[in-house]
Amino acid sequence: MAQPFDEAPVPETGRALPPEILALRRTIDNIDAALVHLLAERFRATERVGELKATDGLPPADPQRDRQQIERLKTIASGAGLDPQFAEAFRNFIVSEVIRHHERIAAEHEAGKRAGNAPPLDTYS
Ligand SMILES: C=C(O[C@@H]1C=C(C(=O)O)C=C[C@H]1O)C(=O)O
């Protein structure tokens, strides 16, 4: 029978990986899947914020909220043993994409391509 992918010998060495690495990779894969699900939910929420802002004529970015989030996340990161600079960079990477979405939503709203009174997200259905 064919070996499962993660138990196959490493081509470079011809040796199987230590079992602990294989076990850790299962955890890493589960965490990566969770991160993707969490990000998808976060973007669903920010998409709706973008629609509400466009309807209200509010700007896509909110620098005061940005500052509060960065301070909060850096504190949480420090307490969790994660590099706070990394936490800030990761947050900025995500939020820059959110702002891009908000700008697109605002432009579509402006051009009349988007209904301003779409129903709110029902995150429990
Ligand atoms: C989502 C918002 O818009 C922008 C994006 C943010 C985010 O992704 O967390 C935070 C602040 C804003 O710059 C918001 O104002 O809440």
Band of the pLDDT at 94, cuts 50, 70, 90?
Answer: very high
SS3 label, residue 122:
coil
Return the CATH number of the domain spanning residue range 20-110.
1.20.59.10
Cβ atoms of residues 115 and 54 within 8 Å: no
* Interval 30-48: pLDDT, tens: 999 999 999 999 999 999 9
Q: What is the pTM for the complete model shown?
A: 0.84
- Distance from C-alpha of 52 to C-alpha of 91, rounded to nearest angstrom: 22
Band of the pLDDT at 1, cuts 50, 70, 90?
Answer: very low
Dihedral (CA of 6, 12, 15, 18) sign: negative
What was the ipTM of the complex prediction?
A: 0.97
Instruction: Give the CA count within 13 Å in the CB-facing half-sphere of 84.
Output: 10
* Interval 9-29: pLDDT, tens: 787 888 899 999 999 999 999
Domain coordinates in residue numbering, the chain: 20-110
Count the neighbouring beta carbons within 10 Å of the beta carbon of residue 57.
9
Tokens matching residue 63? 């620098």
User: Candidates 41, 66, 67, 71: which one to mutate for ligand 1, based on the most atoms within 8 Å of Cβ?
Assistant: 66
